[in-house]
Structure 1
């Protein structure tokens, strides 16, 4: 049988573009998210990340064309623009300095109030953030995932320490930017209860270095070591109830969450009956920071979730389901 040839990606089009609402100065604001197709992350060793498969040898000209296509319909409603890649916006091999400069200049000229981008710590310097912040309000997102060096290294494989993260966050602030810290709910090898405890502890540890925390709920991305664990039944994505527990437990810094793939087999979920309502409340909390949105949520599966918290560690760390099926 002839093996199907993989189609070459269109380097003139971004991976994705969409509009949503984001938290800006305590209120909901229109935002535009752009994912550029770049060479991808140079690290490429995280157990949970399927983004390396999106990488392609895009040139500086390709990236400029992608950005222009993505922002062709930019309007005054787009007060926040998030420019993401499959790796680090500040990595010069992924996004050349000339392209970065064009993007920042164009967004500032368009009157965009805030630019958000992601970077690993090793590429963050005060000078780079200062150059951006001098043109436009700048937020740098850093994927800490967990404040535990053991969890970050052995469960995820991030390749940097908590001290590296704190040093990078300090450089962002010295450069006049703000820091968004990504935390991961339920890295591999953590039970449901230990995952909640890790997220809460990590939020406390990261508060001093963060202007906002983004709680990312683990989903199963294709071609990853985590997918192999999931396929043989050694991993279950987090319960949405666990996310609610963490969000209610953090009040020292704004904390947001967007439960990607909620209610699907590969995403965070409860029993299926309440997934949509709980995910909606989580997204509402991200815009209001009001824990009251969770008060009226209830479902019979909540008792099963609580039992999982009690018993999962006794089952040799295997992910218990609410019944014998893999939901």
Structure 2
């Protein structure tokens, strides 16, 4: 891994776009997916959470590691389209107390969701105690407050912190500083809006041990900013730019055991916030077919209980290594 960041060349937005593959075919009248999963709620109960993956225009921020653009449109949707997608999904999902509305971008980007649509969206969400949406820190303002006031439940905004590593964060093309992230958290908390954050495990340019170390530091930074929930996401290939960096020798996917290690470190002492490991497609990060199922189950149990579980015993090579 790179040690001298002064010699590192940042990929430009144009280069990130050039390295992409093709998008999937999606429709502006339908969400591209919707699911129900269990999650430990803020009250400590394990509850069902419905997630609707909305089809929307592409995010204007071209983050280096992002692959969410694959299920987006090249144009803005018509007014009322997002409410129609939400209605379509909720009619087909079982009832839950919590709802996530993820639009592969920023909920409060007016080009993605017109403010005039907030009232209808809020009415559709009236049965939920919590409504989680995703947003860039730069777009956290009065529109967030406006939606929160319309909701019967509480609004929670999920933001990508990614990493607090001082050299790596600027290389991710995130167009965000740690100061801006902290300011957004302060604003949201002051307006009674809950905050969750996304943290990357082993982003490009970091080794395995560094990846664990900086993921833990980033989680602690988020908590200090008032974040009540942190999701740790193993950095994945699949968007073109990350594969290019792998070819250059500055990216290697993290190990599944490293995801375990991050949770173990953070959960050593009781916390006022929750930390979850993202297990979507996480089997790909294991090098051992014998213990991958047990490791996935262990991580899931730590997510749900927020306590360290008995370790998985295996003679495989699931060890921290660069």
Per-residue Cα deviation, 1:48-81 (whole angstroms, up to 9, x for no partner): 11222322122223222211111113544x1110
Asked whether 1:257 is paired with 2:277, we answer yes
Alignment of 1:1-327 (within 5 A): 9-24=26-41, 25-44=43-62, 46-56=63-73, 57=75, 58-76=77-95, 78-108=96-126, 111-125=127-141, 127-134=142-149, 135=151, 136-154=153-171, 156-209=172-225, 210-222=227-239, 224-230=240-246, 235-251=251-267, 252=271, 253-264=273-284, 268-291=285-308, 293=309, 295-302=310-317, 305-306=319-320, 308=321, 312=322
Distance 1:51 1:6 in 2: 10
For residue 236 of structure 1, give the secondary structure of its aligned residue in structure 2.
Answer: coil
In structure 2, list runs of 5 or more residues that go unmatched.
1-21
Structure 2 equivalent of residue 323 of structure 1: none
Structure 1 equivalent of residue 19 of structure 2: none
TM-score (norm 1): 0.83
Given that 1:88 and 1:120 are in contact with CA atoms closer than 8 Å, whether structure 2 keeps it comes out as yes
For residue 256 of structure 1, give the secondary structure of its aligned residue in structure 2.
Answer: strand
For residue 305 of structure 1, give the secondary structure of its aligned residue in structure 2.
Answer: coil
Structure 2 equivalent of residue 317 of structure 1: none
Distance 1:200 1:241, change over 3 A: same
Given that 1:149 and 1:162 are in contact with CA atoms closer than 8 Å, whether structure 2 keeps it comes out as no
Distance 1:300 1:51 in 2: 36
Higher RCO structure (Cα 8 Å, ≥6 apart):
2
Per-residue Cα deviation, 1:211-258 (whole angstroms, up to 9, x for no partner): 111111112223x31022346765331111111111111144321112
The Cα shift of 1:183 comes to: 0.5
For residue 283 of structure 2, give the secondary structure of its aligned residue in structure 1.
Answer: coil
Distance 2:24 2:177 in 1: 38
Distance 1:157 1:7, change over 3 A: closer
TM-score (norm 2): 0.84
The Cα shift of 1:123 comes to: 0.8
Structure 1 equivalent of residue 17 of structure 2: none
In structure 1, list runs of 5 or more residues that go unmatched.
313-327
For residue 263 of structure 1, give the secondary structure of its aligned residue in structure 2.
Answer: helix
For residue 50 of structure 2, give the secondary structure of its aligned residue in structure 1.
Answer: strand
For residue 231 of structure 2, give the secondary structure of its aligned residue in structure 1.
Answer: strand
Given that 2:197 and 2:230 are in contact with CA atoms closer than 8 Å, whether structure 1 keeps it comes out as yes
Distance 2:80 2:164 in 1: 38
Given that 1:262 and 1:276 are in contact with CA atoms closer than 8 Å, whether structure 2 keeps it comes out as no
Given that 2:157 and 2:195 are in contact with CA atoms closer than 8 Å, whether structure 1 keeps it comes out as yes
Given that 1:263 and 1:272 are in contact with CA atoms closer than 8 Å, whether structure 2 keeps it comes out as no
The Cα shift of 1:100 comes to: 2.9
The Cα shift of 1:7 comes to: 7.8
